[in-house]
Amino acid sequence: MEQYEAQFFNLAFFSYFAASCLYISYLIWLNNKLAAGGLLLSIFGLAANTLAIVARTLKAGHIPFANMYEFGMVLVWALVLIYFLIEYRTKRKALGAFILPMAFLLAGVFTLFYQEARPLMPALKSNWLMIHVITAVVAYGALAASCAIAATYLWKERLERSGDDGPVVGALPSLEALDTIANQLISLAVPFLTLLILTGAVWAEYAWGSYWRWDPKETWSLITWLVYAIYLHGRVVLGWRGKIAMNWAIVGFITVLFTFVGVNVLLPGLHSYAL
Partner 1 sequence: MAEKPVVASKGLERSGTLAQWFRSFVSMRTGISLLLLVMAASFVGTFIPMGREHPLLGDVYHTWWFRVLLGLLCTNIAACSARRLPELWRSTPKAAYLIPNNISSMPFYQKITATQNVEQIMEHYTVLLSKLGYSIKMIKKGEQLGLYAVRGRLAPWGTLAVHLSVLIIAAGALYGNSFGFSEDVALPVGSSVEIGGSKYPGVSQPFALRLSNFSTEYYSDGTVSDWISDIAVDEGGIEVLSQRVKVNQPLNYNGVRVYQSSYGTAVQTKLIDQDGRVLKEASVNENEPLETDGIIIRPVRYIPDFNPMRPMASSPNNPLNPHVLYIVYDHGREVNWGAAKIGESVPLGRNRGSIIFTAALPFSGLQVKHDPGVPIIWFGFGLMTAGFFVSLYIRRLQIWLKVDQEQSGITAVEVGGRGSRLVFDNLYSSLTAIPASQDIVRRKK
Chain residues in the site for partner 1 (CB under 8 A): 118-119, 121-123, 125-126, 176-177, 180, 187-188, 190-191, 194-195, 198, 201-202, 205-212, 214-216, 219-220, 222-223, 226-227, 229-230, 233-234, 237-238, 263, 267, 269
Q: Smallest distance, Å, CB 38 to partner 1? A: 26
- Give whichever of 25 and 272 is closer to partner 1, judged by the CB atom: 272
Provide DSSP, 163-196.
Answer: T--SHHHHHSPPHHHHHHHHHHHHHHHHHHHHHH
- Give whichever of 242 and 269 is closer to partner 1, judged by the CB atom: 269
- Give whichever of 144 and 263 is closer to partner 1, judged by the CB atom: 263
**φ and ψ at residue 15, rounded to 5 degrees:** -65, -45
Three-state secondary structure call for residue 29: helix
Q: Smallest distance, Å, CB 41 to partner 1? A: 31
Q: Smallest distance, Å, CB 216 to partner 1? A: 5
CB 87 within 8 A of CB 93: yes
- Give whichever of 165 and 205 is closer to partner 1, judged by the CB atom: 205
Per-residue burial over 196-211, b = 16 or more CB atoms within 10 Å of its CB, e = otherwise = bbebbeebbeeeeeee
Q: Smallest distance, Å, CB 237 to partner 1? A: 4
**φ and ψ at residue 174, rounded to 5 degrees:** -65, 160
CB 216 within 8 A of CB 209: no
